[in-house]
Amino acid sequence: MTNLTRSILASLSLTLAAGAAQAQSASPTAPPASATPPTQSQPSQQPQPADPAMAARCTSTAKSMIGALDRGDMTAATKSFDPKLHEKLPDDKLKEGWASLGQKFGQRSGFGQTQSQQINDVTVVLLPMTYQRGKVGAQVACNDKGAVLALQIGQIAPPNTSTSPGMTPKAPSGG
């Protein structure tokens, strides 16, 4: 994923992150940089482009879940949760965490362009969201059956004002 993924989170200390961390232990993660290269007996856990159908399915699940959270419908929000995630992130903690997100950032006004990647049989989508007082990202990990294995929510850092090599800054508009 891009800088958007790397800039997501210094986790909002929502209880969402605590439950997601526990659930992620069931899903593969990328090996540390010092790990030995994978051999034929050791499958690669490096991120790969996501299968388009799996990415679309996970994105749809994430958007439905977020819409249900916005409405306060915890039953609908958690219907795709893997049982281990739901155990670690029960409805009351999820509701409390989502309410604190609204208190901090206001009402959600839309979604940005989703990014996705595949790590073994886990599809991870990053769903940027625009709120009244900032941008927030949801990182959702889904298994090959479409169950949500992990949910992580965090603020997206404002764009860096410095320019990357080869990029031309936009001239200010207006006057």
Per-residue pLDDT reduced to its tens digit, 58-113: 999 999 999 999 999 999 999 999 999 999 999 999 999 999 999 999 999 999 99
Per-residue pLDDT reduced to its tens digit, 4-48: 333 333 232 233 333 333 333 333 333 333 233 334 444 557 788
Q: Which residues in 75-97 are b (16+ Cβ under 10 Å) and which e?
A: eebbebbbebbbebbeeeebbeb
Q: Running DSSP on this structure, what letter comes out for residue 144? A: T
Q: Please give the distance of CA 170 from its chain centroid, rounded to a whole number.
A: 29
pLDDT of residue 11: 30
- The Cα 122–Cα 133 span in angstroms is 32
Report the predicted TM-score, pTM, of the whole model to 2 decimal places.
Answer: 0.67
pLDDT > 90? residue 165: no
pLDDT of residue 30: 32
pLDDT of residue 44: 56
pLDDT of residue 23: 35
- Return the higher-pLDDT residue of 146 and 173: 146
pLDDT of residue 157: 82
Cβ–Cβ < 8 Å for 126, 139? yes
Q: Which two tokens stand for residue 45?
A: 């856990």
Alpha helices, H only, 1-48: 3-7, 15-24
pLDDT of residue 47: 81
Cβ–Cβ < 8 Å for 152, 88? no
pLDDT of residue 1: 36
